Structure formats: C-alpha cells, structure tokens
Amino acid sequence: MKMSFRWYGEGYDPIPLQYIKQIPGMTGVFGVLSQYQAGEVWEEAEIKKLVDQVRGAGLELEVIESVNVHEDIKMGLSTRDQYIENYNKSLENLAKYGIKTVIYNFMPVFDWLRTELAYEHEDGATALYYNDADIQGMTPRDIVENTAKESGGLTLPGWEPERLERLDEVMKIYQDIDHAKLRDNFRYFLEGVIPTAEKVGIKMACHPDDPAWDLFGLPRIYTSRDDMDIIANLYDSTYNGFCICSGSLGSNPANDVPAIFREFGERGLMNAAHVRNVKYLGDRIFTEAPHPSDTGNLDMFAVMEAIYDTNPDVAVRPDHGRMIWGETGRPGYPLYDRALGATYLVGLFEAVTKMKERA
C-alpha cells in the first residue's frame, strides 16, 4: 500500500510538503494543478514543475486528484468533443512525467456536499456534517453561498467559483437529464478517454458521489455497488476503474463498504482508495468521524484487509480529517487529524500483513 496525502500545490495548500514527508509511513501525494479550470489542457511545463517539487521533497507523485470533467461533457452538449480532446491531451502530458493514476468524478453540478463544515463534536473538534432535513429548506444557490462562507477563504475542491458561475443555467439544463441520460453521457466520455488512458498507461479512477443519493433533483449515478457494476460495464477495461472512497459510499448505511473494496479489488478496478470513517447520527444525518473503527460506523480493519487481499500496492489516502488542536485551514483537509488517520491506517495494514504472513 502506498500511503499518500492530498496536496493542493504551493500557494493553494497551507501545508508544506516537508510536513507531509514527516508523517510516518507517508510515501507520496495525490497532486493537482489547482490553476486549471475543468476543460483546460494541463501544460507540460506546469506538470514538470509540480513533479519536480514533490519528488524534490522526497515524495512520490503517481496520482493526480483530480482532472475535473467539464460540465458540458456531463450534460452531453455539442461542445463536449473539444473538452474530451483537451482531457486526452492532459492525460498524454501527465503520462510523460510518470503519472500512473488520474482520479475524477462524474457528479452533476456539485462535488461532495455538506450542510455544515465545522460541526462541533463532543470533544471540541469540528468536522464536516450533513443533515438531509437542512438541505430541504435550501436552494442550490444557498448551499453554494453557505459552503463558500464556511470555507475560511480557501477554495474547496469541487466548489471552485468559476465552476459555479453558471449554476442557474446548468440547473435548468439538468431538468431534462435523468439517470439513464447521464449514464449515456458517461459512456460517451469513457469511449472518448479510456483508449487514450490505455495507450499512455494511466489508470482512470472515478470517485463516488457524496453523499450517496440524489440531491436537488439531480441524478447521481455512483452511489452503490450496483452503480459501480453498471459503470464498469459502460466500458470494459481495468483502465476504467474506481477511486473507492469508504466515507462517500459509507454515507449510506445500506452500502457494505468492505465488501465493495473486496469485490472491485478482485475485479482489478480498485485504481485508488480513500479511507475514512463516518458516524451516523440519524436517517441521512452523518458527520465525519476520526479514522479508528470504534469512533464511527465503518469497520476500517475489514477495509484494509480487503485492500491487502486484492490490491496491496494501491495508493491510499486518509480522506478528510477533523480540525483538532486549534488548527485552522481548509475544512476537511487539516494536517494533524489526517496525519493521525494515516498512521492508524499504516498500523492496520502492518497488522493485516503480519497476521496473514504468519497464518
């Protein structure tokens, strides 16, 4: 397992690479070029700069999170062909610098969504929180403004202002897009990019919708094991795989998270992994718990065991973290709690490994 850490790049991430390198067991980062908007070509010179920086700090850079998919592709507009061409160009450029995996998602309009970014836990820590009842009284515009207000001045992934400028127009177009239509548009995207991914040797890793159900009448098509099976069948290739995220899929208690890691690991489709815990506080109400199993509702040992058994070399990162010890920064992406999460996961992996070797 390659334990990794998400890093937004110099000028975008308050956490220096050196701090990440100091986390025990850390081998690499999931990097991104935050300066590019969805649909733009990632230029070689910028990629090289990032790669040199990360490797210069003694860390690997094999995974990019994310190369975002332009909304026109998801909506199936005629402009999509140009954006798909640009996406392929970015993949070709990334491959030249040793990138092996590209994470993305196919969520309509919104990326992950929460109703509070600093929900206070009993111990005084704060974490991301979702309450479906709160969403009912909000418009898409409200949630955008609320998220921006609580983000502490830092742009949150999936909530880039330029991406949300077209909100009203886009919401209107989606009135005619149901689950089946969105899947058709997804297939079109996969048919456009997977051949290039195969050619240049980059495994594509689709991240689940979070939370794992429809919101604001928008179709969400990656919320369960069955959705993943459908996506895998849209284009049959191990390059059309998943970034399996325990917390996102785990937002719905009906999902058997360790079983999902195991099945898609066995099928050769676990191309990256996010591992974190979640705590259910009611029906469609949850908060992001610390990583250890007994603080939330997911069996983290079973998740790490499934990774060990099916794809022990996969790149894994602690997903989100809580704000603890007075830390401030980008909600969900603190240093301290993600570092605790990472060392815990490294510990679990060592335990699973030694247990299996001795058996």
Shortest reach from residue 63's CB to Mn ion, in Å: 13
Size of the site for Mn ion (CB under 5 A): 3
Among residues 100, 140, 132, the alpha carbon closest in space to that of 115 is found at: 132
CA atoms within 13 A on the CB side of 26: 29
Rule CB under 5 A: is residue 62 a binding residue for Mn ion? no
Q: Are 17 and 8 in contact (CB under 8 A)?
A: no
Q: Is 335 in the site for Mn ion (CB under 5 A)?
A: no
Which listed range, 15-23, 80-88, 113-121, 317-325, lies at the site for Mn ion (CB under 5 A)? 317-325
Position 274 contacts Mn ion (CB under 5 A): yes
With a CB cutoff of 8 Å and minimum separation 6, the contacts of 348 are: 300, 301, 304
Catalytic (active-site) positions: 207, 245, 274, 319-320, 333
Span from 27-35, 36-44, 304-312, 316-324 in contact with Mn ion (CB under 5 A): 316-324
Pick the stretch among 41-49, 226-234, 268-276, 305-313 that binds Mn ion (CB under 5 A): 268-276
Judged by CB under 5 A, the stretch of 67-75, 101-109, 272-280, 288-296 that binds Mn ion is: 272-280
Residue 316 binds Mn ion (CB under 5 A):
no
Q: Using CA atoms, how far apart are residues 147 and 114, in angstroms rounded to an integer?
A: 8
Q: Is 319 in the site for Mn ion (CB under 5 A)?
A: yes
Selected from 245, 269, 298, 314, the binder of Mn ion by CB under 5 A is: 245
Residues between 172 and 211 that touch Mn ion (CB under 5 A): none
Considering only CA atoms, which of 128, 319, 109 is closest in space to residue 218?
109
| Least Cβ distance, residue 257 to Mn ion (angstroms) | 12
Burial 204-217 (b: 16+ CB within 10 A, else e): bbbbbbbbbeebee
Cα 166 to Cα 18, 75, 161, distances in angstroms:
38, 13, 10
Tokens 């700069």 locate to: 49
Closest approach, Cβ 246 to Mn ion, in A, equals 8
Which amino acid is it at 36?
Answer: Y
**Chain positions contacting Mn ion, by CB under 5 A:** 245, 274, 319
